[in-house]
Chains A and B, each alone.
Chain A
Amino acid sequence: MKTIPLEAYLIVSIVLFGLGVFGMIVRRNLVTVLMSMELALNAVNVLFVGADSHLSLVDGQIFALFIIALAAAEAAVGLGIIIAIFRLRKVDSTDEITDMRG
């Protein structure tokens, strides 16, 4: 298990996180924006578990556990808001969310 250096996992984590944040900015569909946010949170989890296996501690895995659970909660609320938006205005793209200006 220690044959793979930690740097390799960190590079994977960075790539995932960068692409996740990039996806949040670039994607048009509201649901895929939320999905990219979950992607970024998965990247954070990879960092924590990788760090944990190197340091032989468990605190990082516990943080990753909390991140998984609370990301689920946030996704639930986000999807609820999307359903509410769609009911009110039948909109499904971030283009349409430009009511407020200034």
Chain B
Amino acid sequence: MTARIGVVTFPGSLDDRDALRAANAVGAQAVSLWHKDPSLHDVDAVVLPGGFSYGDYLRCGAISRFSPVMETVISAARDGLPVLGICNGFQVLCEAHLLPGALTRNSHLHFRCKDQALRIENNRTAWTSGYDLGARVVIPVKNGEGLYVADAHTLDALEAEGRIVARYIEGSPNGSMRDIAGVTNEAGNVVGLMPHPEHAIDPLTGPSADGLAFFTSVLKSLVAA
């Protein structure tokens, strides 16, 4: 019996099929979840994929956060369900207050798609346990609003508690505060990440296979549990 990883499709989700492919690639059972359906269909972990849910017209993630499925995801996450928010999913997690801070317009004001070098800063979360601490990975980043902001007190706390999951290295793609690419909650089950590990699972279609370990990590933690 393998673990079931659910991927939510909101109207305007774009990388949902990629996230499902990544879950399948590591041997999990990928399950498609629908934004209007509050049931999580017995999944063991949830991915909120990239995209422009509801067109991001009000504020990135602001409307999705109120969808029926998110009500369930929010309470399950508080009970320890592993949740990974990628790009737009990260924005949804911030809007849902499962993660601190917010994501705002890139400092250069452009959408930017780039093969980005990252350093894994925390390998104790449900989604990063398969990485070596300090590992350098190359994973695509692609967004217009990926500049992570939080007040100084929050940033200091994140640093002190080791809750910065990944940092941009070799040049920031968006001007994020303290080069933050991803953060986790206190329990380590909820991770938000601007780069797209689901686009780095096979060198045929991405810059590397460095992203695969996000999915193997959660699978391993679930099977072990």
User: A and B: real partners?
Assistant: no
Residues of B within 8 A of A (CB): none
Residues of A within 8 A of B (CB): none
